[in-house]
Structures are given as structure tokens and as C-alpha cells.
Amino acid sequence: MKTVLFFTDMHAGVHATEYAGVCDRARHYGWRVVEIEYARTDRPAEEFIEEWDPCGVIVECGNMIGEVNVPAYTSVPAVFIDPRLPAGQAGRLFTVEQDAAALAALAYRELSAIGPAIFGFVGWCGRQIWSERRQAAFAEILRRHGAPPLQTFDTPWSRTDLLSFRRHLARWLARLPRPCAILAANDETAERVAEACTQSGLACPDDVAIIGADNDSVRCENHDPQLSSIASDYLNVGRLAADLLAGQLHRGAKPAPRTVTFGPTEIVRRDSTRTLQTRDPTIQAALRKIARGACEGLTAADILAGIPCSRRLAEQRFRAAVGHSIGEEIMNVRLARVRKMLADPSLPIARIAPACGWETDSFLKRVFKRHTGLTMREWRDRLAAH
């Protein structure tokens, strides 16, 4: 069996999902995948390549500080995910890169609806390329739309001293015109922004609206307020990287180096960008209850029972705050879970309905087809094709 090395800084966050995507495609290609966490070793990449004698390598570069040491990896066919390349290397390597412009466009669409006085960006610690690209793309889309120049939090920070980071961030936020709208580099950064708002006495989202990226549902849904985020399919990123590598390994093939991009899939809207509903704390509580219980069999009647007014008035209050009915909100949460589960090709489709709040598989299939125009199998096949 051929061996492929997957180099990553650590098996965590989106990188773990990318690794899972590589492993998914490796089953098709007949590879064994060995993960090398370069943050946990002092050994150079060349030693691992010499030791394992792989047929190829995939290098997750997103958290590398500085440029990729390209010669360390190119003794064998290689694919690089989100690299910062040395001068002259662009277009000469096989890469998978995020479409930062598409992510910034979604963020602008969500945040501009609030009508902010200013837009801000809080980047990740260090000089990670993915954070810099998101910042640059967001600044560019503001320029194209004639919005005020992007305000950026430029104070260096470290995850080893989050208390200082929060204090500096709170002072920066307090100086911004309000209401302001913040794109955070990722969901962990968004969480820090929300904590700094609390420290400064700023209301989220009335004073400061926040959206993160990557949709870490555990982090986003267990914060108060719950955090809106932009989701991307990182499982498919791993698949794309594996397919690029497989193209190089095909007998007799000499494909030209190329870059494949991946974009965001959707905005997952939660409390931190919902301005109308925060004026009604009862509706805010209802939305949180739906987010946490929709897939456990929660019904509209359960929500109505917690709103101290007539059923008709409760529905009107909910629709005015959110833009659609309680039943539609429950349905949206359930379908979002269905789409997430369909992205895992190893999960039998028959197991999805009970995990998402539906009593029967047949009913879910009808609902899914009505909302998406595709069967669940067609949806999964389309994900695999991309």
C-alpha cells in the first residue's frame, strides 16, 4: 500500500477535518495516510520523507509563520493547502487555497444589513496567511462598495496571554463609532471580541455586531450571545488536495501545476448579527432554545408555550424579529444539521433523520427534496464531485 504524508501544525480545528477529507479519498486511491504534526517535532520534513518514503505529501500551511520551505517537500509529488509562497513560486505548485473574496462578500452582505457606522476586522495572532487574506479581501469589498475604510485591530497578541489581548481589544472597540460591525478572523477570535464587548459594556449586536468564520458550532452555540459564522466545507478541502495529488501520481501523467480554490458554503446566522430580535429578550430566548433543541424533536408548540402572550401575537413577534415563522426556523436548523451530516460520506443516510429531529426517513427525504431540489443522495454525490 502506498503511503501519503499529511503535514499539519496540529490535529485540531479545521485541520482535523481536512485530514479526514484526505483519508476519505485515500480509501478510494488505496493509500495509507500518515499525519505529521510539525508543531510537535523539531525534526525537518526531509527526515520524515526519507523515513516513510511516501508516494506524495500534502502540506497544510495555514498556520505556518512565514513562507513555505518548498524544497523541503518537493522531492516527491506535493500539494500545499493555503501556502504563503516564496517569490516566483506562484503558479509553479499544486495548491488548494480559500476564496477569501467570496468569504468577505458573505460577511459584508450579513454585516451591511445592520447599517453600521464603521466596519472592523480582528485578525488571528501571528501572521497567518489565511487571516491576512481575509482581512485584505474584506478591505477590498468595502472599498468597492464605497464604505468607510476598514478599521483593523493591529495590536499583536498571543494565545498565551489572552487577558492582555482582551483588555487591548476592549479599549479598541470602545473607541469605534457605533453601531460597528466586526469580521473576526475565525470563531475563536469572534469569541474574544464578544468577551471584550462585555468587558467594555457594549451590547452585542446592538452596539457591536460580530461574525466569525469556520462555524465551530460548539464554540459558537455555547457562547452568550451565540455567534454568527461563515461555514466552509473543510472535509472537501482535504478531498480536493488528495485529488490534486492523485493526478500527479497517475501513471504517465504530467499535469501542469494549478491552484484549486474553495469557498464558503453558507452564513450560519445566530444572535451576534441579529439586531431586531435582541430588542425582544423573549424571542432571543426562543431562538436559543430552537438552536439547541430543534434536532431533539422540539416543536413550534413547545416554543409558543414559553412566550407569555396569545399564540397569534407570539407568532407575530417572532416573525417581526426573525423574518419567518417559528416552524421555518426549526426547519432551517434541522436542515442545516442534515447538510452537515451528508458531508460525511461514511455516515449512512438512514441514520440522519432520527439525528435531526424527524421520525421517519421518508418524510425527511420529501422535505429535503422540496427545499433543495435534490435528493439526499444527489446532494452527497454533488459534494463528492466538488
Q: Give the Cα separation of 22 and 8 in Å (integer).
A: 12
User: For position 36, what pLDDT does the model report?
Assistant: 96
Q: For residues 214 and 195, what is the distance between their CA atoms, to the nearest angstrom?
A: 19
For each of the domains in the chain, give its residue range(s) and CATH number, in order of start. 2-97+234-263 (3.40.50.2300), 100-232+268-273 (3.40.50.2300), 277-385 (1.10.10.60)
Is-contact 275 296, C-beta < 8 A?
no
- In this prediction, the residues of the chain whose per-residue pLDDT falls under 70 are 253, 275-279, 384-386
* CA gap 29, 243 in Å, rounded: 9
User: Coil, strand or helix: which one is 255?
Assistant: coil
pLDDT at 288: 82
Spatial distance between the Cα atoms of 159 and 206, rounded to a whole number of angstroms: 28
End-to-end CA distance of the chain: 26
Confidence (pTM): 0.76
pLDDT the model gives residue 183: 98
In this prediction, residue 277 carries a pLDDT of 44
- Alpha-helical (H) ranges within 158-293 are 162-175, 187-200, 217-221, 234-249, 281-293
Can you give the pLDDT at residue 385?
Answer: 63
Model pLDDT for residues 268-321, shown as the tens digit of each residue: 888 898 764 446 788 878 888 888 889 998 999 999 998 888 888 989 888 887
What are residue 217's phi and psi, to 5 degrees? -60, -35
72-77: long-range pairs with CB below 8 Å, 24+: 72/44, 72/45, 72/46, 73/7, 73/45, 73/49, 75/46, 75/49, 76/49, 77/245, 77/248, 77/249
